Each structure stands twice: as C-alpha cells, then as structure tokens.
Structure 1
Amino acid sequence: MIANIQSILEENQLEPHWLTIEVTESIIMDNIDYSRRAIEQLATIGVNLSLDDFGIGLGTLSCLQQFKIPTVKIHESFIKDLEQSPVNEAIITSIMTLGRKLGVRIISEGVETQQQLEVLQKLECQEIQGFWFSRPLKVDAATELLSQNKIKADPLA
C-alpha cells in the first residue's frame, strides 16, 4: 500500500504533505501491528494522517496513546445537537483540551449551521469543516470556487 501511494504521488508530481489519509479507529484496531508499521511509513514519506470519527469508538484514546497520529477529527454526532447539548459541548471542550496538551490538531466535522459554527468558535475550535462552508464538489467545481476566492475562512466575518 505504501509503495502504491508513493508511486501515485510521484507519477502526479505531488508533494506528500498535500495528502491526508483518514483512518478510523476500527481500521487501526483490526490489525494493530500492520497499522503501526503503515502509520510510521506514511509519516516517514511525509503523508499526513488523521484519526476520523474520534470519540465514537471504545479505543479512540488508546489510538492516541499508541499511534503518532497528528490530526483528530471530532465525529459529527457531537456537533449535530451542539447548540442544545451541554454534554456535547463538554465533550468537545475536553477533546480540544486533550488535543492541545498532546500537540494534536483537532478538526470539528459535520458543521451545518451558523449556530454550530458560533458555538465551536466560542469554544476556540481552530479547524471546522462541513456543509456550512460547502457541499462536496467535483474537481471542476472546486477549482472554479477556489479560483474565484469565494470561500471565507470565517463565514461570520
């Protein structure tokens, strides 16, 4: 797998740091030894890694402890009812605090409303993604959107 990724990057003249591979805890835990080697090799060649769906599995903290994964994505289930859920707000705050202490980049995914965005900004969440910013786009549409510079880093600004 690593050789294939490296080959594709070279064929397309792409720098490895532009690629982020998202892995879930369940994939890592299916074969811990293989996952450890793969994660180390990907990091060695400069590919970014992200632990997706953080917080929904039983071993997510174990993944942070055992593997050097520099990015964690908070699962959208914690974002969905954020405006009405003090529990979800507390969980997100705890994940962000943990991330800062471990030097792990935290991304909140699944943001669909201005209210969710405002709560996450209040909680000092630095990276946010979701339909609030844009629905998934095909390459041509994404290129057009980026070339027109219509994406705001902060839609509330």
Structure 2
Amino acid sequence: YARNYQFTIHLKNKFDYKALGNKLNKYGYYAYSPFYDNAYNLDNPEALNKYLISILSRVLVFIIIIAVYLFSYFIYKIILKTKSRDYLIYQTLGSNSKIINNTILLEFSYSYIIGYVLFFILYLFISKDFPVLIHYRFFDYVIIFLVNSALTYLIINFYLKSLKKKSILFNLNRLEL
C-alpha cells in the first residue's frame, strides 16, 4: 500500500508537477507540493478574498492591541491618581515603600487578570460573528498577556518613581489642588 510511505521527488521543470501529480494519483499515490498546493490560490476569487481578510484581520488586531495599550495607559494613570491619596496616607502612617509597591502591583495584577479573562469570555460570544482572533495560537495570547503585564508593570513603576521624587507633604498638597 503506497499510502503508508512517503517519497520525495525532485523535478527538473516545475511545470511538470501537475501532470506528475495526476499520474501518481491514478496509481493510488497522494501527491502534494508545499510550493504549489498552497492554501491561497490567488486565481480563485474566494481564496483571494480569504487571503485578504486574513491580512486585514492581522492588521486590525495589531491596531487594536496598540489602542488597548494606549487606553490602558490612560486608565492606569487615572486610577493611580485617584488612589494616590490613599498611598500617601499609608506613607505618612509609616508604611514601608516596599509594602506600598507590592500593594499597588497586586491590585493592578488582579484587575488586569480579571480584565483579560473577561475579554476572552466576551470574545467567545462574538467570535462566531467576527472571527478576527482565530488566526492566532495559544502561544500568541501568552505573548500578548506577558507584554501587557510588562506594560502594566512599567506604568506602575513610573508612577511610583514620580511619587518618591517629592516629599510626602508636597505630594499631599499637590493632590489637594
């Protein structure tokens, strides 16, 4: 049974592939070429449409990711400004800056993970009508999660450094204005 084995055939002329493939199929062999049997035969309008949609969806996902980064930056900045008073009060009461840093990191980590899970739950509901993220693998989502986590960490550290540059009284007076 020829289907249990794999053979490699090198052709001198690439245009002979179709004729050879047809002959092999007549004898019960399955012929496949990764160069000519591609998924996007651009002569077919449906395949061309599928190819263009896949490119467009990847570009749209990239734009959405950038928008999410900018949006999350402004949200984190607003949240940190509203919580600044609480953290400065902890500082005046004598809390260690390491405890405050860990508290802020934990709060944002929990909110980020909850947001990520809610995003996937929402995506499960809309994925049937708008399958943009179907082209990505699990590994891609892990990378996006890690990059977003790093962004959150950098934003929080930037904020904490700006709090530590000035004195506690200066920061409290700044919040009163």
The structure whose residues are more often helix, as a share, is 2
More strand per residue? 1
When Rg is computed on C-alpha atoms for both structures, the one with the higher figure is 2
Higher relative contact order, chain-length normalized (CA < 8 Å, sep 6+): 2
Same fold (TM over 0.5): no
Q: TM-score, normalised by structure 2?
A: 0.23
Q: TM (normalized to structure 1)? A: 0.25
